[in-house]
């Protein structure tokens, strides 16, 4: 009879230990939702820093020349961007975001999506395309002058 109590007691301790350790490792998603603003500010800081680095190393030359980046090079830049963001965040912050997103591939997908959005809104590239477009247009009648100095 004493063995049953001992078995229940040990089983209860094991259950509590597993339940409490699981709860400590994966914070509830509701906490992330409640504290969205601080988490968002923090990750956006790392995203901006990483984008600046990757942009200068891989994309800026294409933006200045108003040319399209090669797909393979763009994919490489995307992957390096996501890895750099995670490296800058540090292991503790990465664990928290992994708990929020569920797995690394979803977190990578969201980081790469952010990179794509930032690349598509590249103002330097748009300005370079506009400048090149203006230089390639034929001069209008007012720009040609009245023919006195021609």
- In this prediction, residue 102 carries a pLDDT of 84
> pTM for the full model?
0.62
Q: How far is CA 144 from CA 79, 136, 137, in A?
A: 50, 15, 13
Average pLDDT, stretch 51-61? 86
The stretch 90-110 carries a mean pLDDT of: 88
Burial of 79 (0-12, 13-18, 19+ CB in 10 A): middle
pLDDT band of residue 56 (cuts 50, 70, 90) is: confident
Q: How far apart are CA 51 and CA 115, in angstroms?
A: 7
Give the confidence band of 149 by pLDDT, cuts at 50, 70, 90: very low
**pLDDT confidence of residue 123:** 61
CA-to-CA separations, 27 to 71, 93, 128, 136, in angstroms, rounded? 38, 12, 47, 58
Mean pLDDT of 97-122: 87
**Per-residue pLDDT, 7:** 53
Can you list the alpha helix ranges (DSSP code H) found in 27-122? Answer: 29-34, 36-54, 60-65, 71-89, 91-101, 104-120
The model's pLDDT over 24-34, given as tens digits with 9 standing for 90+, comes to: 544 566 777 77
Q: Please tell me which residue, 148 or 73, carries the higher pLDDT value.
A: 73
Rounded to an integer, what distance in angstroms lies between the CA atom of residue 35 and that of residue 27? 12
pLDDT, the chain, mean: 75
């Amino acid at each position: 009879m004493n063995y049953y109590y001992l078995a229940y007691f040990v089983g209860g301790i094991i259950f509590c230990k597993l339940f409490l350790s699981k709860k400590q490792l994966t914070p509830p998603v509701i906490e992330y939702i409640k504290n969205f603003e601080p988490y968002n500010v923090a990750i956006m800081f790392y995203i901006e820093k990483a984008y600046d680095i990757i942009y200068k190393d891989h994309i800026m030359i294409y933006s200045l020349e108003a040319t399209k980046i090669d797909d393979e090079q763009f994919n490489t830049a995307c992957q390096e961007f996501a890895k750099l963001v995670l490296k800058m965040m540090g292991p503790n912050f990465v664990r928290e975001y992994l708990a929020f997103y569920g797995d690394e591939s979803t977190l990578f997908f969201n980081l790469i999506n952010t990179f794509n959005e930032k690349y598509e809104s590249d103002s330097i590239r748009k300005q370079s395309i506009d400048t090149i477009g203006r230089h390639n247009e034929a001069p209008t009648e007012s720009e040609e002058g009245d023919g006195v100095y021609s």
